[in-house]
Amino acid sequence: AQSVSQHNHHVILSEAASLELGCNYSYGGTVNLFWYVQYPGQHLQLLLKYFSGDPLVKGIKGFEAEFIKSKFSFNLRKPSVQWSDTAEYFCATMIKAAGNKLTFGGGTRVLVKP
């Protein structure tokens, strides 16, 4: 069974600091990768996705992620965070063989101090 690991459960940083959230997955075949964000009290929103092509993916709100197949990783980055980036971030994978199920990591809570 596939699994997704997010190693940082909580991250606290100041505005303008750089952010990198780690994500590793276990599936050895073709996998589609996602990052979702959940702002306080809100539903999940798609930040970015990777299906194929350029392994450096740009998403909304200045976020980007890099797919490194050899490391089974899909880390999320933002060069300079804002207070409004305070949220919980979820990495997720989808494989065709699993009925298009999104398998989520445990999430990383990010608190940006003003």
Partner 1 sequence: EAQVTQNPRYLITVTGKKLTVTCSQNMNHEYMSWYRQDPGLGLRQIYYSMNVEVTDKGDVPEGYKVSRKEKRNFPLILESPSPNQTSLYFCASSLYRAGANVLTFGAGSRLTVL
Residue 36 CB, nearest distance to partner 1 (Å)? 8
- Residue 42 binds to partner 1 (criterion: CB under 8 A): yes
Instruction: Determine phi and psi for 66, rounding to 5 degrees.
Output: -120, 125
CB within 8 Å of 25: residues ≥ 6 apart: 2, 3, 4, 5, 31, 33, 72, 73, 74, 91, 93, 103
Residue 106 CB, nearest distance to partner 1 (Å)? 5
- Residue 32 binds to partner 1 (criterion: CB under 8 A): yes
Structure token pair of residue 65: 């992620």
CB within 8 Å of 88: residues ≥ 6 apart: 37, 38, 107, 108, 109, 110
**Interactions with partner 1, residue window 4-23 (CB under 8 A):** 4, 6, 9
- Residue 70 binds to partner 1 (criterion: CB under 8 A): no
Candidate list 11, 13, 17, 102; residue touching partner 1; CB under 8 A: 102
* Site residues (vs partner 1, CB under 8 A): 4, 6, 9, 30, 32, 34, 42-46, 49, 51, 90, 92, 94-97, 99-107
